[in-house]
Amino acid sequence: TGAVTLDPGFKNTGACKSEITFLDGEKGILRYRGYTIEDLAEKSSFLEVSYLLIFGELPAAAVLEKFENDIKKYTLVNEEMKNIIDGFPKTAHPMGVLASLTSALTAFNPQPVDVNDEEELYDTVCKTMAKFLVIATWTYRKKMGYPLNYYDNTKGHVENFLRLMFELPTGPYKIDPVIVNALDKLFILHADHEQNCSASTVRIVGSSHAGLFASISAGVSALWGPLHGGANQAVLEMLEEIQANGGDADKYLAKAKDKEDPFRLMGFGHRVYKNFDPRAKIIKKAADDVLEALGVNDPILNIAKKLEEAALKDEYFKSRNLYPNVDFYSGIIYRAMGIPTEMFTVLFAIGRLPGWIAQWKEMRLNKEPIGRPRQIYTGSPLRDFVPVDKR
Ligand code: CMC
């Protein structure tokens, strides 16, 4: 069968050609469909960026309006989904619930989408964007024991996220435009990142022609891990631990450098960015803005700044090109917004959804073959079977 090249973690293996996201890790460049992340974060909106990623072009005003309205056609979620949520204990991690609910959507939408039928594909995209946001927020409502909320079609997508999460039957939730703006930016910054672990997962699951919901559910599971999207939760837990232990950042820096200690500085390092993470720069600034606007003086932010400063001067981190990544500051913003730590990765998933859809769509339209890596076998050579009474 020919020689197999070994590349654990696919560090040097390209798995596809892609037109979606350009990333230069040396120079710290990230562009969606040719537009810089800095421009998009400042001038665009999450739904506009979603359209851009999925369909390839910035939408004209009428097209964007239609996209927003078409998403609203699908914002009701089947009542039977509630039975599935009811089955989970309150202690369930929201990412586990989200993966299950996303997969369960298949039960209510069993027809496989015909990717060559443009209209059907477009409807499926709108349906996924609508229902995923609602069920993502339901994972929080479940945890809190709150009644589930419904999307309000008179309001925008990001406003709806906040309402779905926080509005209680006792009174309307006051939407703060500073928070909407910061969330919109955060969702844009998380929207795609070329062939990362979860996007590759979505592509590989989808390459067997499993459905879109099943593929996205797999992406949610991949994102959950602390080395990927789960890092935003891990960062905050780390900062809280440092604070609880007297705020000694240097001690944790030493632990991260100790090769005998499995501890890593969460929110530091990246597989591809070896100079800086352009998303982290924008988020750091957004964190300062949000905290100032909300009048929050969070001591955890000071610990984060101390830790970052110390790490950036440290030879261990410098020589390995380890810099703060997107997740180092996002958790601080989420915390200031009153979002519980366990929900952080769900927010990453909401932001990443259009990227997953775009990657899945491109893979199917390019008629990519089923993903099936090879291996180098290192197990036992041929041996004779030994009956159980002779072992
Ligand atoms: N703290 C301490 N040492 C580190 C860290 C860290 N956060 N990250 C990498 N290293 C060291 C690692 O021990 C290794 O050292 P040596 O060469 O002496 O063995 C060297 O740096 C290279 O690391 P690696 O594990 O080979 O690099 P990788 O490309 O496989 O891993 C990473 C990248 C992001 C998984 C890793 O940097 C990490 O675990 N970071 C912490 C978790 C984190 O913040 N993840 C979020 C990534 S950004 C959001 C996303 O896109 O999901």
Distance 253 CA to ligand 1 centre (A): 14
DSSP bridge partners of 29: 24
Residue with the larger pLDDT of the pair 133 and 284: 133
Tell me if 386 is assigned to some domain.
Answer: no
**Can you give the pLDDT at residue 301?**
83
Tell me if 247 is assigned to some domain.
Answer: yes
For the domain that residue 277 is a member of, what is the CATH number?
1.10.230.10
Closest ligand 1 atom number to CA of residue 264: 1
197 with 307, same domain: the answer is no
Judge whether residue 381 has pLDDT over 90: yes
Question: How sure is the predictor about 5, in pLDDT bands with cuts at 50, 70 and 90?
Answer: very high
Judge whether residue 2 has pLDDT over 80: no
204 with 328, same domain: the answer is no
193 with 241, same domain: the answer is no
For 206, the 3-state DSSP assignment is helix
59 with 120, same domain: the answer is yes
Q: What is the mean pLDDT of the chain?
A: 94
Tell me if 2 is assigned to some domain.
Answer: no
For residue 227 and ligand 1, the question of a CB distance below 6 A is answered with yes
For residue 269 and ligand 1, the question of a CB distance below 6 A is answered with yes
Which position among 184, 192, 314, 327 bears the catalytic label?
327
What total number of domains does the chain contain? 2
Closest ligand 1 atom number to CA of residue 9: 30
**Can you give the pLDDT at residue 70?**
98
Tell me if 373 is assigned to some domain.
Answer: no
For the domain that residue 192 is a member of, what is the CATH number?
1.10.580.10
Tell me if 270 is assigned to some domain.
Answer: yes
**Which residues, including other chains, have CB under 8 Å from residue 206's CB and lie 6 or more apart?**
212, 215, 360, 363, 364
Element (H, E) at 292: helix 278-294
Closest ligand 1 atom number to CA of residue 229: 52
For residue 231 and ligand 1, the question of a CB distance below 6 A is answered with yes
207 with 246, same domain: the answer is no
Question: How sure is the predictor about 1, in pLDDT bands with cuts at 50, 70 and 90?
Answer: low
Please give the average per-residue pLDDT across 313-341, as a whole number.
91
**For 101-109, which contacts have Cβ atoms below 8 Å and span 24 or more sequence positions?**
101/135, 101/138, 101/139, 102/132, 102/135, 102/213, 102/216, 102/217, 102/220, 103/213, 103/214, 103/217, 105/81, 105/131, 105/135, 105/213, 106/211, 106/213, 106/214, 108/78, 108/80, 108/81, 109/213
205 with 274, same domain: the answer is no
Give the domain range for residue 70: 16-226+345-365
Please give the average per-residue pLDDT across 173-189, as a whole number.
93
Tell me if 382 is assigned to some domain.
Answer: no
pLDDT digits (tens, 9 = 90+) for 133-171: 999 999 999 999 999 999 999 999 999 999 999 999 999
217 with 288, same domain: the answer is no
Judge whether residue 29 has pLDDT over 70: yes
106 with 240, same domain: the answer is no
pLDDT digits (tens, 9 = 90+) for 55-80: 999 999 999 999 999 999 999 999 99
Which position among 157, 190, 193, 270 bears the catalytic label?
270
Tell me if 36 is assigned to some domain.
Answer: yes
Residue with the larger pLDDT of the pair 249 and 198: 198
Distance 265 CA to ligand 1 centre (A): 8
Tell me if 390 is assigned to some domain.
Answer: no
**Can you give the pLDDT at residue 300?**
87
Percent of the chain with pLDDT over 90: 83
**Can you give the pLDDT at residue 132?**
98
Mutation probe of ligand 1 site: the residue of 95, 237, 268 with most atoms within 8 A of C-beta: 268
Percent of the chain with pLDDT over 70: 100
